[in-house]
Amino acid sequence: MKAISTVLCLLALPALAQEPLPGWAVHSTDKSYDALVADTKAAVKENGLIVVTQAGPTKAAAARGIIIPGNLVIGAFNNDYAVRVLETSVDAMIEAPIRFYVTENADGTATLSYKTPSHVFAPYAQQGGEPLQEIATELDEKFQAVAEFAVN
């Protein structure tokens, strides 16, 4: 019974993403989960970033006999941004890579979400100053471009 209630709870999570949390960008699409994952990775590369990390519970849960909706976090960044961020704030580098979040919806579609880079780097604004804010703005534009490419 616990596994069923857990699955039902997890199925409801993507619906909550329709009202984004502060600092989040949420992009719904008619694409399937697998298609959106592939298109997000392609869009990351197309926009001059690199998939640095990827992690999600879906496959590991399935290996344990638990079926949950598709769920993957894709960390994206590149070395140019890493060097530039470090020049402004060593502490801010803990936030890299910045992550995209692909979730499968109950109706078979998928959603792409992410915290905007300006939101992610906001706690370091005083330390990193205007140069860090400029980097965050550049990354906001890149992440928006990735999202538009991936969901369309």
The enclosing domain of 44 has a CATH number of 3.30.310.70
Q: Calculate helix-pair angle for 79-88, 125-151, nearest 10 degrees.
A: 160
19 located within any domain: no
Residues 6+ positions from 81 with CB-CB distance below 8 Å = 96, 135, 139
91 located within any domain: yes
123 located within any domain: yes
46 located within any domain: yes
**113-136 b/e with 16+ CB inside 10 Å = b?**
bbbbbbbbbbebbeebeeebbebb
Enclosing domain of residue 67? 24-151
Which H or E element spans position 137? helix 125-151
Return d(Cα 76, Cα 53) in angstroms, integer: 7
pLDDT of residue 2: 43
136 located within any domain: yes
pLDDT of residue 146: 98
Residue with tokens 């960390």: 75
pLDDT of residue 124: 98
pLDDT of residue 18: 59
pLDDT of residue 19: 82
16 located within any domain: no
10 located within any domain: no
Q: What torsion do the CA atoms of 133, 139, 143, 145 make, to the nearest 10 degrees?
A: 110
Number of domains in the chain: 1
1 exposure class (CB count in 10 Å sphere: 0-12, 13-18, 19+): exposed
5 located within any domain: no
- Tens digit of pLDDT at every position of the chain (152 positions): 444 434 444 444 444 445 889 999 999 999 999 999 999 999 999 999 999 999 999 999 999 999 999 999 999 999 999 999 999 999 999 999 999 999 999 999 999 999 999 999 999 999 999 999 999 999 999 999 999 999 99
